[in-house]
Structure 1
Amino acid sequence: MIRLDSVSKQHGGQILFLDASMSVFKGEKVGLVGPNGAGKSTIFRMIVKDEAPDSGGVVIEKNVTIGHFSQDVGEMSGRSVLEETMAGAGEVSKVAHELHELEAAMADPARADDLDKIVERFGEVQARFDELDGYGLESRAQEILAGLGFAPEVIANDVGKLSGGWKMRVALARILLMKPSALLLDEPTNHLDIESILWLERFLRDFEGALIMTSHDREFMNRLVTKIVEIDGGELTTYSGNYDFYEQQRAIAAQQQEAQFARQQAMLAKEEAFIARFKARASHAAQVQSRVKKLEKIEKIEPPKRRRVIEFDFPKPPRSGDDVVKLEHVEKGYGSKRIYRDFDFLIRRRERWCVMGINGAGKSTLLKLIVGESTPDAGAVTMGASVKLGYFAQHAMEVLDPDRTVIDSLQDAHPRASLGSLRTCAGAFGFSGDDVEKKCRVLSGGEKARLVLAKMLYEPPNFLVLDEPTNHLDLATKEMLTKSLADFEGTMIFVSHDRSFLRSLSNRVLEVGHENGPRVYGGGYVEYVSQTGYEAPGVR
């Protein structure tokens, strides 16, 4: 369906692709992987003709329709969420628009002379509309929007009132409603909760066309993709299998190349030593010349590429008391809606609670009550002895000083730390080289999240309260964070939609939103899934 044939592409002084090729066939689900800036989004833009390769070609089979979801959703306002979704449904929305115009024309007395032509055209358009399942368009749009977490009352409201994250969901719904031959999805799970991710997973599993996607959600990739295309150093390398299989194969290939490289280096050293030893002796001139020619003809094996992963040894936090935080008879509501009623909850030292619950169940409200950003309507929240609190919330990124650089921000937070250790910490969170001199105003959402986490974890508190800490983090940073927190000796409570994160870190589960109050589950997320039979509340 889609082929890149010997494509080369350069942005400024950076060579993204050099004589690179890949192909995608109907029914294939392809994961596109590579470091940030490697050219994943450029491939999408070349496929949809927003950019052209410098050389080579992008070939798309005839009659293949492409739906492209990117992080740039543009302006949305003036229509309801449902209308906005249906307006982006591709050919079917255009056919629907023409159908409405023809209906109006048939009822217009001024166009009576053209009635036969209008009726004939109406029949053609209606047949095409029926072929595209146009009459089921609205119900399919409502089903997709519900799957992506929209409440019925929100679907009828003005799309312009939504936050940026919810507008992203509308943009994704539009693409899914198109039913194209091929889907290009650039980080589709970034703004989704776990329930919506699970729904999208099922939707894409049943999708019969070709799928090419990027994602920082390892579990999502593993469950969907059947092929990985890696972008590295201007080359495209294809691996059959899911993300875990790709990592295994990449490691095996690197080991084999390392061994071949080492063997060749040993052979070259031996030959060069012979040449150096005997080049001045006339009796060995023929042998020396023969070996020189032999070395000139040898195709040199490149050393394996190693992705630079900086690790930072985070210090141990100070010890807190055994009771970290206690909620007693807590009541909390907004308007007529009661979120918590006579709620008792105790978090003890070294416990790692993940909070599960559908949208609006009160997950973020609980974290705000714990950290003191919100006060209970009744009852008490008491922090234990010697507790040093660290709180990560999405709005925490808004308090970064836009005129300070990354390294300035770290120095402001930790004035006694050495510049070298702060740079190492910044590197562990993806800020290498000149990136530390970037001003906060130009940082992306993901970069801001990484900087806030770096500031917090350089000298870790003993109680971490984390609201979706992995949003926008790339796989490498997410894995570094998960590994660091796995060794964390303090206490945690967190909300996350990342199942790898939940599985790796939790040892207790609190599920909120039940009529009879929150439920506690012994064990972590793995045990929760085993006990409940579902991966998220409300998802069967």
Structure 2
Amino acid sequence: MIRLDNISKQNGRQLLFIEASAALQKGEKIGLVGPNGAGKTTLFRMITGQEPPDEGLVLVERGVSIGFFSQDVGEMSGRSAVAEVMNGAGDVSTVAAELAALEAALADPEQMDALDANVERFGEVQARFESLGGYALEGQAREVLAGLSFSEAMMDGDVGALSGGWKMRVALARILLMRPDVMLLDEPSNHLDLESLIWLERFLAGYEGALLMTSHDRAFMNRIVNKVIEIDGGALTSYSGDYEFYEQQRAMAERQQQAQFERQQAMLAKEIKFIERFKARASHAAQVQSRVKKLDKIERVEPPKRRQAVAFDFLPAPRSGEDVVNLRGVHKRYGNKVIYEGLDFLVRRRERCCVLGTNGAGKSTLLKLVAGATAPDEGTVALGGSVRMAYFAQHAMELLDGDRTVFQSLEDAFPQASQGSLRSLAGCFGFSGDEVEKKCRVLSGGEKARLVMARMLYDPPNFLVLDEPTNHLDMATKEMLIAALAQYEGTMLFVSHDRHFLAALSNRVLELTPEGVHQYGGGYTEYVARTGQEAPGLRH
């Protein structure tokens, strides 16, 4: 359906693709992977014709429809979320617009002289709308929006009043409703809660078209893709199988290449030693010349490219008392909406409690209450003895001083630390070389999240309160963070929609449901086994 033939592409001084080739066939569901800045978004833009390759061809079969979801959703306002979603559904949306205009014309007394023509045209347009499945379209649009966690009020309200994250869901819903022959999805799992993520997973698993997508969510990628295309060093390499199989294949290929490289290096060293030893002897001149020529002709094996995944070692956190935070009889409401009524909840030392609940259940509110960012209407929230807490929330990224560089921001937080240890810290969180000189104002969402996390974990508190800490983080940084937090000896209370993160780090679950608050001993994996569901909103 889509073929990339020997494409080359340069972005400024960076070579993104060098004579790279790949193909997307009917029914394939492909995960596109590669380090940040490797050219994943550029590849999507070349396929959609938004920018051409410098060399080579991008070939799309005649008549193939393509739907492209990117993080850049543009302006939306002036109509409901449902209308916005339906507007992306191809021909049927154009016909729907004409039908609405004709309905208005038929009701307009000033257009009575054109009544017969309008009635006739209305009949034609209505028949066309029906044949395209137009009357079923609104129901389908509402079904998709409900799957992405929209309430009826949000579906019918002005799309312009929604936050950026919800507008992204509207843009995603437009592509899903359109059901094109090929879907290109750039990070569709960003900004989704766990229920929406699992709904999308099921939708895409049942989608019959071809799919090319990027995602930083390992479980999501693993359950959908049946092929992986990796961008690395300007080349495109295809691997059959899911994401886990790709990782195994890649690791095996790296081991084989390393062994080949080492064998060749040993052979070269032996040959060079012989040449050095006998080059001055006339009796060995012919042999020496023969070996020099042989060395010149040998194709050198390159060592495997090393992934930049730096381990981060925590300083030990100071010990807290046994009771870390205690909520007693907590009531909290926003306007008429009751969030908590008489909540009792105790977190003890070394517990790693993950909080699960549908949108609006009060997950972030609970973390704000614990962190002191909001006060209960009634009841008490008490931190235990010797508790040093750090709170990570999305707004923490807005508090960075835009005029300071990454390195200055770390220096401001830790004036006593040595330059070497701060550079090492920056490197662990993905800021290598000149990247530490970037001003905070130009950092992406992911870079800001990494910087805030670095500042929080360098001198670790003994109680971490984390609200969606993996939003914006790529897989390599997530793995580093999971490995670091697995060694952390303090207490954690956290919200996350990343199932790999939840399963790796939790040892207790707090579930917020409309029926009440449920607590489970054991981590997220045990919770799934016990309830038979991966998220509270999926229970029947």
- TM range, normalised to the smaller chain? over 0.9
Q: Are residue 156 (structure 1) and residue 156 (structure 2) matched?
A: yes
Mapped partners of 1:177, 1:42: distance in 2: 25
What is the aligned-residue identity percentage?
68
User: Matches of 1:317 and 1:358 in 2, distance apart?
Assistant: 32
**1:205 counterpart residue number:** 205
Give CA-to-partner distance per residue, 1:119-176, whole Å, 9 cap, x none.
Answer: 5x974x6666445422211111111111111110111111111111111111111111
Q: CA deviation at 1:3?
A: 0.8
* Structure 1: unaligned runs, 5 residues or longer: none
Deviation at 1:328, TM superposition (A): 1.0
Query: What pairs up with 1:88-127 in 2 under 5 angstroms?
Result: 88-100=88-100, 123=124
The answer as to whether partners of 1:394 and 1:467 remain within 8 angstroms in 2 is yes
Q: Deviations over 1:296-319 (max 9, x none)?
A: 221111111111222221201000
Distance in 2 of aligned mates of 1:99 and 1:56: 44
Match of 1:397 in 2: 397
Name the residue aligned to 2:145. Answer: 145
CA–CA separation in structure 2 for the residues paired with 1:398 and 1:416 = 25
* Structure 1 residues 352-373: Cα deviation after superposition (integer angstroms, max 9, x where no partner): 1000111111111111111111
How far apart, in 2, do the equivalents of 1:442 and 1:506 lie?
34
CA contact (8 A) 2:314 2:487 kept: no
Distance 1:375 1:114, change over 3 A: closer
Taking the aligned partners of 1:530 and 1:25, their CA distance within structure 2 comes to 37
In the TM superposition, what whole-angstrom CA distance separates every residue of 1:354-405 from its partner, at most 9, and x where no partner exists? 0011111111111111111111111111110000000001111111111111
Task: Give the Cα separation in 2 of the matches to 1:199 and 1:531.
Answer: 20
Partner of 2:240: 240
- CA distance in 2 between partners of 1:518 and 1:115 (Å): 58
Aligned partners of 2:513 and 2:536 also within 8 Å: no
Structure-1 residue corresponding to 2:525: 526
Instruction: Give the aligned residue type for 1:527.
Output: E
Give runs of aligned pairs for residues 159-238 of structure 1, distance below 5 A.
159-238=159-238
Match in the other structure for 1:457: 457
State the match for 1:271 in structure 2: 271
C-alpha separation between the residues in 1 aligned to 2:65 and 2:96? Answer: 18
Cα distance in structure 2, aligned partners of 1:80 and 1:423: 49
> For 1:7, what is the secondary structure of its paired residue?
strand
1:539 match: 538
Secondary structure at 1:212's aligned position in 2?
strand
Please list the CA deviations of residues 48-94 of structure 1 after superposition, one character each: whole Å capped at 9, or x if unmatched: 00010011100111111110000101111111111111112233212
Cα displacement (A) at 1:266: 1.1
Q: Please show how residues 324-335 of structure 1 align to structure 2 within 5 Å.
A: 324-335=324-335
Q: Contact 2:4 / 2:20 at 8 angstroms: preserved in 1?
A: yes
The corresponding residue for 1:443 is 443
Q: Deviation string for 1:435-474 (max 9, x for gaps)? A: 1111111111111111111100001100000000000100
> 2:315–2:460: 8 Å Cα contact kept in structure 1?
yes
The equivalent of 2:55 in structure 1 is 55
Q: How high is the TM-score relative to the length of structure 1?
A: 0.96
1:474-521 CA deviation, whole Å, 9 max, x = no partner? 000011001100111000000000000000000000011333x31101
Is 2:102–2:118's contact at 8 Å kept on the other side of the alignment? no
8 A Cα contact 2:311 2:484, kept in partner:
no
Deviation string, structure 1 residues 205-247 (Cα, Å, up to 9, x no partner):
0100000000000000000000000000000000011111111
The letter for the 2-side match of 1:525 is Y
Please state whether the residue corresponding to 2:535 is helix, strand or coil: coil
Question: Any idea what SS the aligned residue of 1:275 has?
Answer: helix
User: Aligned with 2:250: secondary structure?
Assistant: helix
State the 1:98 CA deviation: 4.0
Q: In the alignment, what sits opposite 1:294? A: 294
2:96 & 2:115 partners in 1: Cα distance? Answer: 22
CA distance in 1, matches of 2:349, 2:117: 81
Taking the aligned partners of 1:195 and 1:267, their CA distance within structure 2 comes to 57
Question: Which runs of no fewer than 5 residues in structure 2 stay unpaired?
Answer: none
Give the Cα–Cα distance (whole angstroms) in 1 for the partners of residues 215 and 422 of structure 2. Answer: 29
Contact preservation (8 Å) 2:393, 2:467: yes
What's 1:416 paired with? 416
Q: Report deviation, 1:15.
A: 0.5
Question: In 1, distance between residues paired with 2:422 and 2:485?
Answer: 19
Give 3-state SS (helix, strand or coil) of 2:300's partner. coil
Q: 1:288 to 1:450 in 2, by over 3 A?
A: same
Q: Distance in 2 between matches of 1:104 and 1:61?
A: 40
Q: Partner of 1:306 in structure 2?
A: 306
CA contact (8 A) 1:362 1:513 kept: no
Task: Tell me the equivalent position of 1:482.
Answer: 482
Aligned residues: CA RMSD? 1.8
The 8 Å contact of residues 310 and 424 in structure 1, kept in 2 or not, is answered as no
Match of 1:345 in 2: 345
Q: How many residues align?
A: 536
- Check the 8 A contact 2:80/2:159 in 1, yes or no: yes
Query: Judging changes above 3 Å, is the alpha-carbon distance between structure 1 residues 286 and 68 closer, same or farther for their aligned structure 2 residues?
Result: same
Residue 491 of structure 1 aligns with an amino acid whose one-letter code is T
Question: What secondary structure sits across from 1:538 in the alignment?
Answer: helix
Residue 350 of structure 1 deviates from its aligned partner by: 0.3
CA distance in 2, matches of 1:82, 1:455: 42
Q: Distance in 2 between matches of 1:136 and 1:350?
A: 53
Quote the residue 1:500 is aligned against: 500
Equivalent residues of 1:4, 1:57 under 8 A apart: yes
State the AA in 1 paired with 2:530.
Q
Q: Could you give the per-residue CA deviations for residues 14-57 of structure 1, whole angstroms, max 9, x where no partner exists?
A: 10000101101111110000000000000000000001001110
The Cα of 1:335 is off from its aligned counterpart by 2.0
Pair 1:258 & 2:258 matched: yes
C-alpha contact 1:339 1:513 (8 A) present in aligned 2:
no
2:81 aligns with 81
* d(CA) in 1 for partners of 2:523, 2:58: 47
Cα distance between partner residues in 1 of 2:322 and 2:146: 43
Using the TM superposition, give the Cα deviation of residue 333 of structure 1 relative to its aligned residue in structure 2, in angstroms: 1.3
- Secondary structure, in 3 states, of the residue corresponding to 2:411? helix
Q: Which amino acid aligns with 2:342?
A: D
Paired letter, 2:522: G
Aligned partners of 1:393, 1:258: CA distance in 2, in Å? 42
**What residue identity is the alignment partner of 1:25?**
Q
Name the SS of the counterpart of 1:76 in structure 2: coil
Amino acid of the residue matched to residue 406 of structure 2?
A: V
- SS of aligned partner of 1:143: helix
